[in-house]
Amino acid sequence: MRILFLVKSNNESYGICKGLQNSALFLSNALNLMGFFAEVSTVIDANGIDKEVDRFKPDLVVIEAYWVTPQKLKELLVIYKHKLPKTHWVVRSHSKITFCSEEGQIMEWSYGYKTLSDRYNFKLSGNHQNFVEDIDTILDYKIDYLPNIYQPGYSIYNNHIHHHETINIGCFGAIRPLKNQLLSSVAAIRFANEINHTLNFHINTGRIETRGEQVLKNLRALFYNHAKHSLVEHGWLSHKDFLSLVSKMDLSMQVSYTESFNIVTADAVQCRVPVVVSDEIEWINKRFKASCGSIDDMVKKMHKAYNYPDWAASINTKSLDCYNKNATNVWFNYLTKLGLSQD
């Protein structure tokens, strides 16, 4: 069973290592451990797909996210219906409809993908059940649920040594309004004031998405005019280097308005860093979930996570392990249903 994950490169805006690429690499690692043969290929655009498919000759092609137009995908499916007639093709969405509302082509392309599934060995899929159910409602079209699996293959741990004068809080990932970084930073300032610490609020500025420029502008202005606390900006890093950075945090925040998995939070849990998130990151323990619009609730959960870091890390590690086990079963059942076996 040969599985090829295809990711579009965009080094100018995404940096060395992208979330989609990491997601595909982790899935590839997990499937290889299960006895399948999986690989990730990065292409400049859809015109590079045929070269990689011809080279790898996969039984399953997984296109990570919406970046191949239905028209181009149809061309590929027509060609490979004859060249590799038994190969299955999947486009795998990484977003819920809430986030899709910021991407103007999502609905049009979803309808286009639906028409292809009627004639070719192709299916649309999503990494969250909500997307799967919403597409069924919108298109009257059953799509597959193919979740993330977090399997980086290496670990870096935080030793939870609290400093007496400073606190480092990470709010990493792409800069965009739905990530809620600005309100999270205000909550972080209040929390630091309550424990009488100087705050270093860490963000990534290597990837700015829809209307994210305004979020970054406000974050910079907030901290520029604050005498005590600081905004620390990091570029986009390789995953190992990013884990090393995350491991130095006292807390990680992802109180987002929409998420389908959130690798950054999994990174923090992997490093045993306490987290405060929103309900959108479902696999995190409920004790560390705060309301997106309530600074009071965020600060309350930050105190809980910060004061009991080993307990928080242990609980969320178990939650991530449980999620991974369930996701692994979903993938195994899916591949078995396709009639594709392990090596």
Instruction: List, as one string, the DSSP characters of 259-324.
Output: -SS-HHHHHHHHTT--EEE-TTSTTS-GGGB--TT-HHHHHHHHHHHHHSHHHHHHHHHHHHHHHH
Q: Is the pLDDT assigned to residue 92 strictly greater than 60?
A: yes
Q: How confident is the model at residue 12 (pLDDT cuts 50, 70, 90)?
A: very low
All structural domains of the chain: 2-146 (3.40.50.2300), 166-317 (3.40.50.2000)
Kindly report which listed range (151-160, 162-171, 278-287, 308-317) carries the lowest average pLDDT score: 151-160
Q: Is the pLDDT assigned to residue 137 strictly greater than 80?
A: yes
The single residue listed with the structure tokens 């945090």 is: 249
Contact (Cβ atoms closer than 8 angstroms) between residue 264 and residue 236: no
Q: Is the pLDDT assigned to residue 55 strictly greater than 70?
A: yes
Taking residues 306-333, what's their average pLDDT?
A: 96
pLDDT at 210 (0 to 100): 66
pLDDT at 9 (0 to 100): 84
pLDDT at 1 (0 to 100): 85
Predicted TM-score (pTM) of this structure: 0.93
Among the listed residues 91, 88, 71, the one whose alpha carbon sits nearest the alpha carbon of residue 80: 88
Tokens (6 digits) for 251:
């807390």
pLDDT at 207 (0 to 100): 67
Q: What is the pLDDT of residues 239-276, one digit of tens each?
A: 999 999 999 999 999 999 999 999 999 999 999 999 99
Looking at the chain, the whole-number percentage of residues with pLDDT higher than 70 is 94
H-type alpha helices, the chain? 11-14, 19-33, 49-56, 70-83, 97-100, 106-117, 129-139, 181-194, 212-224, 239-246, 263-270, 295-307, 309-337
**Residues 259, 130: Cα–Cα separation, whole Å:** 11
Instruction: Quote the radius of gyration of the chain (alpha carbons, Å).
Output: 21
pLDDT at 342 (0 to 100): 61
The single residue listed with the structure tokens 């009488």 is: 196
Please name the amino acid found at residue 94.
Answer: H
Eight-state DSSP code of residue 175: B
Tokens (6 digits) for 24:
């595909």
